[in-house]
Amino acid sequence: MHNRIDKQIDELVDALTDAIIVWPGGWADTLPDWIKSEIQLERLAQNMKSLRGERMTATDAEACAYLYTRSLEGGPIDSDWTQIYLYVAGKTASRGKNAQIPDDIKVDSLNNYQLGLLRDLKDWIYEHRVKVRQEKRKEKKAQAIAETKTRAPQQLKLGV
């Protein structure tokens, strides 16, 4: 029981502290604060769903952030990805006190093919997020070991 509670606490901390996965290219610093806030809220909600047995995946807000940074990279985005971007942007923006998507470009639903693309993107983002988290933990652990080895002779007054 105790191990399960520890795991749930870790997952909540991860939801708040995990990196936001964006398209490579240097546009991460342009993410609006409201998207960052929505990512945290949606991750917490996703964690609650996982407690009820649902599979973990990235959120609409995370997909929105990824596609946002992709759209800034330049070059065209095909019509399916444009529809997906407008769909997740509309859903994400409508949940908070954020700018709304104009009605003339708002997308309320996706076809099955587009839903599959979105599901695959969310799965990839989540897997990448977990991989980044694990790499950061390994780096911290290696750094802590190195610092301990460096300090050990001094702490034991053995001299260096």
**pLDDT value of position 157:** 63
Q: Is residue 150 part of a domain?
A: yes
What digits encode the pLDDT tens for the residues 112-137? 999 999 999 999 999 999 999 999 88
Question: At CB < 8 A and 24+ separation, what contacts does 95-98 make?
Answer: 95/38, 95/41, 95/42, 96/34, 96/37, 96/38, 97/34, 98/32, 98/34, 98/38
120 lies in which domain range?
A: 2-155
**pLDDT value of position 148:** 73
**pLDDT value of position 101:** 84
pLDDT band at 158 (very low <50, low <70, confident <90, very high): low
Cα–Cα distance measured from residue 131 to residue 127, given in angstroms and rounded to the nearest whole number? 6
What digits encode the pLDDT tens for the residues 54-87? 999 999 999 999 999 999 987 889 999 999 999 9
Q: Is residue 41 part of a domain?
A: yes
Q: Is residue 52 part of a domain?
A: yes
Q: Is residue 160 part of a domain?
A: no
Q: Is residue 110 part of a domain?
A: yes
pLDDT band at 160 (very low <50, low <70, confident <90, very high): low
C-alpha distance from residue 119 to each of 56, 99, 113, 136 (Å): 11, 25, 10, 26
Q: Is residue 118 part of a domain?
A: yes
Name the least confident of 86-95, 96-105, 112-121, 146-155.
Answer: 146-155
When divided into structural domains, the chain yields a total of 1
Q: Is residue 65 part of a domain?
A: yes
What digits encode the pLDDT tens for the residues 40-54? 999 999 988 988 889
